[in-house]
Each structure stands twice: as C-alpha cells, then as structure tokens.
Structure 1
Amino acid sequence: MIRVVIKSKFPQALRDYFRCALVALLCVLLSCCGAARQANEKEAGPAADPTAETVTAATEPTPAATTIPAPPPEATRTPSPASETVNLSGALAECRNTFPDQITQAVARAACVIKATEPVRPLLPFPELLDRENALRKALAEQVQARTMSLLERNVQIQKLHAQLLDEERSRLEAAPADVSKPPLAATQWRQSNPEGCGRLGGDAATCF
C-alpha cells in the first residue's frame, strides 16, 4: 500500500519541480531583458528635439556674400581685332600699283587712297583729322588731273596739312587723359606718312600719298 502511494505521488512532485524551475528561468530572462534595455537607453542618450533644431537654424545669421573686386580696366583691355588686321601700307601699295600715273589717274588714285584709309579712321582718337586730310586729297587730285595744279604743289599742300593735323592731334591728346595702351600699327603708319620729303620732286614713296 505504501509503495503504491509513493509511485502515484512521485510524478506529480516532479512536475511541480519542473514547473517551479521554468517559472524561475522566465523570471531570470525577464530581468536580464529589462537590464539590457536600460543599458541601451543610457547609451543612446535623450532623443533630439526637432523643434529646437528648427529654431536654432532659423536664428543663426546668414554669412555675408563674398564680393570679388572687379579687375582694373587695364587688366581687361584687349586689342581690337580690327586694329590687328588693318594693313595701311599694303592697301596703299595696291593703289600705287593699280594707278601708277599720278596725273592722268590722280582722281582714281586719290579715291583708292581714301578707301584704304577708311579702316584707320576708327583707330584714331580724333578721326575728323583724317577726314580733313582726305577732303583736301580729293580736291587736289581733281586739280592735278585737270592740269590746273602741278603734282609738286599738290604734294607740298598735303605734306603741310598733314604736319598741322599731327600738331593739332598732339595738343588735343595732351589735354585728354593719358592713354597708356599701344597705338594700332595702322594709326602709327598714318602719323608717319607724308613727311617733309614728300614735298619735293619724286615724292612717290610708300609713305607719300
């Protein structure tokens, strides 16, 4: 009788033992999970407040724009393409070759010279000076071709007027602001034309026109 009672109660006691052990294990696991969660929250720190970030960004001053100074006019000055391509000497040589007779072809030759000097006009500080010279050149050519003026007298008058125009240009440039840029080659060729030697006989050199 005693053996039967022990056998019938032993399985129930074993089940109670395992049940208690399982409950204890669950308690241990729950406590471990809670501790791990608290540790993670401490490492992460407090959550950032998006409202505070927006207010801070709105109150921060905007950096001032950096202004780059413009380069001086001398640094940006570039030679005009027209001034580099104008070749007054070459154009005048074509006039001499096309109209070699300075008396019978005086009008046509003067018209050719006037056309050759047109590209030089915008390169001069006072282009009206060249206009005055070309006006006299045309009038004298008509007189030479009509035989009412000698070629020598024509050359003398052109040479004198050209010298006067250069003096006038020089005086006007002295009153104007100084220009340190290099003058175009064609403008220099015009200034050096019609020297005093062109007023003598045989004034048919490259610089006499």
Structure 2
Amino acid sequence: MKTLKALLVNGSPRAKGCTFTALRELKKTLEAEGIEVELIHVGHRDVRGCIACRKCQATGKCVFDDVVNEVAPKLAEADAFVIGAPVYFSSPAGGAISFMDRLFFSTLGTDKTMKVGASVVTCRRGGNTASFDVLNKYFTMTGMPVASSQYWNMVYGGSAEEVQKDAEGLQTMRTLGRNMAFMMKSFQLGRKSLGLPEKEAAIFTSFHR
C-alpha cells in the first residue's frame, strides 16, 4: 500500500506562534503513526479573496496565480488536509478564509471523497468554537469526513509559550492525530476492498421569482 500523506496548513500570519505550536503537536503524532506529513505556512502570504469569476472552471486553477495554486496539487495528492487558524474577532483569520475560499472553489473538480479533513483553531480566550464551525464547512460540502478528537480541535493561549502550557489542548491535538491516522488507514483499506461510494450527477436547484 502507498504511504499515506497529510497536508497541514498554518493559516496564521505568525510562522511559529500558537497555531504552529498546535499543528506541530499534531504533526508529531501523525508521523509517529507512520503518516507522511507536510506542514506549510500560508498565513503570511498576500492572499486576496475569491471574486467568483469562475475562470477556474475552464482553466482548472485560480485566476490569481499565487500560493493557492501552489497548494492545490498538494491537496489533490493528500489523503488528509488540516487547516489551522487563529481567531480574529470570533472568526478565523481573514487570510485563512481567503485561502480556503479560493482553494476549495478552484478545486471543485478535484475529487476529495474520503480525504480526511480537520480544522485546528487557537485563541487567547473566546471565539474558538465559532471559528471551528466555519472551517469545518469546507469539508462537509466536499465529501471529506471530518476528524474529531476528545474535545473540539482547539488550544488556548496568547503566545506559543502559553499554548505549550495548555496540557488539555495539546492532548486534544495528539488524540486528533491518532484518530486521523486511524481514519486514513481505514479508508485506504476500504478503497481497496469496497471502492468509493457511488456518486450521482450533481443537482443544482435554483429558485427564481
């Protein structure tokens, strides 16, 4: 069987901050489970939002040729995808949202069925659960099962040093990693013995007055 791959994306502007600290704990756990992991930083990049021009439907890539197009092939190859983001005003950081909007819109033609999806959020005090809900919706509309943990996938702290003291949060990351690895391995076996679920042609219902 092929080596399973997980792609972890740090959507924080800070390369080594709270989000990185959580993702690093997840990365170590996945690697201990035999998963090949790539952790990339996109939160510091200049990523504009999606303009719904739909050029990607014709070209297969986003019209804005930046980090989104760099990551798209990695998403296609990965067996699992994780987006990590800090909380800004009770929502994921704007750069992470712009990145996810464009990545998932421009890769609607990439079959993501049974790729494991997970989001990781960080905050000093409040807004984690609202941000967690926002990020999970990218997965639930694209056939990606969402990996859970012993608690919502979040850590608390205003700095990397404080996150390192969040024993429960870091344990949540380790549990998430083990659960993700189990799902990835199980889906790999399922694909081999059962195949992927049958798909109907997409139906789009629009209502007009």
- Give the alignment's TM-score, normalised by structure 1: 0.29
More strand per residue? 2
Larger radius of gyration between Structure 1 and Structure 2: 1
Higher relative contact order (CA 8 A, sep 6+): 2
More helix per residue? 1
